[in-house]
Structure 1
Amino acid sequence: MIAGTVNIFGPRALRSAYVAWGYPAWFHRVSGGLDLLASMLMMPPSTTRLGLALALVICAAALLTLARHREWKKTPSSLFLSVLVGYLLLTSFRF
């Protein structure tokens, strides 16, 4: 939920980064909204997998964006989060 809130209301530098990556100036709100939706979907057990799947798609999009713009210093945290979300999604099928 924090990531979604930061993306929606974040500092000017964050909003400028979206524009530098080629996204429309308002796209930080879409990104934040999707982050918030994913986190809310993870809460009830009946939609946890859907929330994790959405979060994994968001992480993949973030990694692709960073790789496309060669921002390698920012990729470790996104990669860690992607692996964590992927692991949680895979292990959620055991129950």
Structure 2
Amino acid sequence: MPLSLQRPRWVPILAWLLAGFFVFGAIGNLLAPPDIAASYRRWGYPDWFHVVTGVLELAAAGLLLLRRTRAAGAALAASVMGAAVLTVLLHRDLGHLPPPLVVLVLSGLVGWGALRAGRS
């Protein structure tokens, strides 16, 4: 089979790794230890916003695991990370920028790969 028609084999692997990242992040946001809660306060978010973030991260993780919902999971993951990137840029908190920026790009790659796989 020509290379252009093959399903990208890296997509499920990267999707599962991202799902693990989002589960880990969700746990941190749902439990909100003092340093995470302080960051949300410093950025001007309401006290409960870390819960919203954690729930969205769990939803993204779950959607990333299944081939049928992977593109939607990647879109949700990219949205969450896009919001994180915007937050740290607006507040010039550049020390927090690399992780969400990298995960945003990886989420985009998974979404692209999932859509491409759906057409083959």
Instruction: Give the alignment's TM-score, normalised by structure 1.
Output: 0.94
Deviation at 1:77, TM superposition (A): 1.4
**Deviation (angstroms), 1:57:** 0.3
User: How do 1:2-81 and structure 2 match up within 5 A?
Assistant: 2-81=24-103
Q: Can you give the 5+ residue segments of structure 1 that lack an aligned partner in the other structure?
A: none
Per the TM alignment, residue 60 of structure 1 is displaced from its structure 2 partner at its CA by 0.4
- Distance between the aligned counterparts of 2:56 and 2:36, measured in 1? 16
Q: Which runs of 4+ in 1 moved over 3 A?
A: none
Structure 2 stretches of 5 or more lacking a match? 1-22
> Equivalent pairs: percent with the same residue?
35
The 2-side partners of 1:27 and 1:80 are apart by 23
Give the whole-Å Cα distance in 1 for the aligned partners of 2:43 and 2:94. 14
Amino acid at match of 2:50: H
Distance 1:86 1:44 in 2: 16
Instruction: Work out the number of aligned pairs and report it.
Output: 95
SS state at 1:24 partner: coil
Report the Cα offset of residue 73 of structure 1: 1.3
Matched residue of 1:93: which SS?
A: helix
TM-score, normalized by length of structure 2? 0.76
More relative contact order, 1 or 2 (CA 8 Å, 6+ apart): 2
